[in-house]
Every structure is written in structure tokens, then in C-alpha cells.
Amino acid sequence: MSFSSLGLSESLLQAVAAQQYPHPYPVQQEAIPAILKGRDILGIAQTGSGKTASFVLPILQQFQGKAVSKSRRVKTLVLVPTRELAVQVSEVFKSFGSQLPRKVKTLAVYGGVSINPQMMQLQGTEVLVATPGRLLDLISSKAVHLSEVETLVLDEADKMLNLGFEEEMNKIFALLPSQRQNILFSATLSNKIEDIRENLLRDPVMIEIKAEEGLTPDLISQVAYAVSPEQKGPFLRYLIKSENMQQVLVFVSSTRTADNVVGKLVKNGIPAAAMHSKKSQGARTEALSKFKSGKTPVLVATDLASRGIDIQFLPYVINYDLPRSPKDYVHRIGRTGRAGASGKAISLITPEDQHHFKIIQKKMGKQVELITPADIDLKGY
């Protein structure tokens, strides 16, 4: 199937071509035509499935031909759980939007940074991507109004609920006009999500993408190395240097490990930064942008902080620590090998991890070669 069969206009198709997406992902095949028809959507899809473009493209198309708004009354509201996701979703709107004749002013607003610049930029914003708390602050300062919202998107709704945003979300829903299109994406279906579906969605088109369908596992080569806990650090540095890795995302299980790993990498002459919940928003944004631009080749992150890191063509992912859940494993490795580029996922497996790693492979339905690096001299790493 090609993008041209989904009902997108010529200029949107050109914007897609500029991103070099060869063909639509399953979630896009289903969501794009339905959203263009004005239908509500309930999408069960994970990060990596291509869900962002599946709502960004039809929403941008709906703006084409409409008068440009100069007010503070946003037309599309996208609610997201985290600052990182807010920035990333708005970037997808901006990068597709930049190719279109009719510009759509898009803004990301989130807490943890000064509110004033956001207030000023809201004038003329048509697509607002927001975390719930900051949005309510902006509403009470009258910096933004929701009375003209035509499309509501809830992205990663399950995560918003898990982070305790239910009350804020309900307050926001109460301020929306009753006539509108609703698009809900969640990685999982729970009773709470069912409640939102009942209360918010009108006869939604149901789209369900299994985790594996969204990924491109064939493009990801996976290997694992059997190491002792003491060898992990030197072996990581050995891998980065010997494979000359220019961009690698390293997953660890705790904030402390993240800081330790970064400290040792830097001491050994490998520029690296940590991304975890104890870092300030400013530090996280800076770490991410330096990683994206290639200035810092190594980013060491915990699972939570890494959600929403959306980088195309990430060549390497290393599991310094294995995640607890097989789902997180699939999620992590799905960050490489995207958009048709091949990628490599490497896991460091201690004797204690071996049993758990077997379970992960079983759940994933794929065997990963476990290499014992016998003859490698780790002295000096």
C-alpha cells in the first residue's frame, strides 16, 4: 500500500516524501483515511508504530484551505504525558507542516520551564501540544482558550492516567466544545481507557496494532554478550570504541547507574550525557539536542526518561541493564532500525540475567545469539 491511496492531498504527499517514509505503517493505513473522514479514533498502538504521523498528517490536511487564526483559541489540542513527548509531537507537526503552503502555527507547552515565553507564543497558535498541568495554568491565566477546539488528541493516554493526570484531564475535557473530533492513542487498553472511550468518543474507529507489527524487527540485528557484572563498564567502552559508534542510546535501570556510567565514559574520553528523571528539564532538553545533533555520541537513559525520544535512524541501542519486562525490551530495541534504516541492538547479559533474557526471547518470539567474548583484553577500557 502507498501513501497516495489514503486520501492525502498532493502537498501532504510531498511532505511525506520529503521525510523518506517508503510506505505507510499499519496504524497510518487505518487512521489516516478515518481521521480525514472526521471519525473518532481509538488506537491501541505503541511508540514506534508510527502513531504520531497517523494523526499529524490528516490534521494538517484539515487545516489546508481554512482561514489562518490569529487568536488564542486553539483549533487542535494534543494532550501528552511528558515534556519530551510534547516537544517531539510538536516537531513532527512542524517538520511536515513546513512543506505545506498553508502554515499551521504549532506550540508545545509543558511544566518545569518558565511560563511567560509560552504565554507570549500562544497568540496565533492553532495546534497546541500540552501536558495537562501546564495547560490548566495557561487557561487560568487566560493565555489560551479551548472554546474553539475542533480536534482533541490524547496521546499515550494510559501513561497520562498512570502519571496521575486524571483530574486535570477531566477539567480540560469540561472546557471543550461538545462538537469536535476525538483521537485517543494508548499503548494498552484498561478500564480507565474504556471509561474515556465511553465518555468522550463517538462511535470510534478501533485500531489495534500489536507491538511487533509496529516495529521493523527484521531490520534490527540483535546480539547479546555474556559478561560478568564487573566487566559491564569496560565492555561497554570497548564496544563503543571498537565499533566506532557515533550515536548510541544506552539503557540502564537506575538514575544512579546512569550517572555512574556517564562518569566513567567521560573519564575514558567518550563524550556522554545522562537522561533521567532527576535531571532538570533544561539539562534533559540540552542532552537530547546534543545527542540528536551528534555532538554527544552517547546518551545514557532510564526507560522512563527515554519514552518519547524520537530519533530517526538511531544506529545503536545498548541494554547495559536488561529491562524487567519483555515489552520494554521490544520498545527499547524498536528505537533502532526505524524508517527503513538498519540498526543494531546489543544486550549485556550477566549470569544472573540469563534466565530472564530467555523469557524475553520467548515472549518476543525471536532468538538472540549470546556471545561469550573470550579473547577480548579489556585492560585500558
Does residue number 235 form part of the binding site for ligand AMP (CB under 6 A)? no
Binding test (CB under 6 A) with ligand AMP, winner from 29, 31, 49, 364: 49
* Stretch of 32-40, 47-55, 60-68, 350-358 lying at the interface with ligand AMP (CB under 6 A): 47-55
Does residue number 185 form part of the binding site for ligand AMP (CB under 6 A)? no
* Stretch of 16-24, 134-142, 323-331, 344-352 lying at the interface with ligand AMP (CB under 6 A): 16-24
Does residue number 47 form part of the binding site for ligand AMP (CB under 6 A)? yes
Does residue number 81 form part of the binding site for ligand AMP (CB under 6 A)? no
Does residue number 225 form part of the binding site for ligand AMP (CB under 6 A)? no
Binding test (CB under 6 A) with ligand AMP, winner from 6, 8, 12, 25: 25
Contacts for 352 with CB less than 8 Å, ≥ 6 apart: 229
As a whole number of angstroms, the distance between CA 251 and CA 319 comes to: 5
Cα distance from N-terminal residue to C-terminal residue, the chain: 48
In degrees rounded to 5, what are phi and psi of residue 38?
Answer: 90, 10
Give 319 or 336: the residue with its C-beta nearer to ligand AMP. Answer: 336
Residue nearest to ligand AMP (CB): 52
* Stretch of 220-228, 246-254, 263-271, 333-341 lying at the interface with ligand AMP (CB under 6 A): 333-341
Nearest CA to 35 among 149, 179, 173, 183? 183
Does residue number 50 form part of the binding site for ligand AMP (CB under 6 A)? yes
Does residue number 53 form part of the binding site for ligand AMP (CB under 6 A)? yes
**What's the CA angle centered on 210, arms 208 and 211, to 5 degrees?**
130
As a whole number of angstroms, the distance between CA 220 and CA 360 comes to: 16
Kind and range of the H or E run holding 103: none
Does residue number 186 form part of the binding site for ligand AMP (CB under 6 A)? no
As a whole number of angstroms, the distance between CA 12 and CA 8 comes to: 6
Q: What is the dihedral of CA 204, 205, 206, 210, to 10 degrees?
A: -140
What is the C-alpha radius of gyration for the chain, rounded to an integer number of angstroms? 21
Give 48 or 234: the residue with its C-beta nearer to ligand AMP. Answer: 48
Residues that bind ligand AMP (CB under 6 A): 21-22, 24-25, 28, 47-53, 310, 312, 338-340
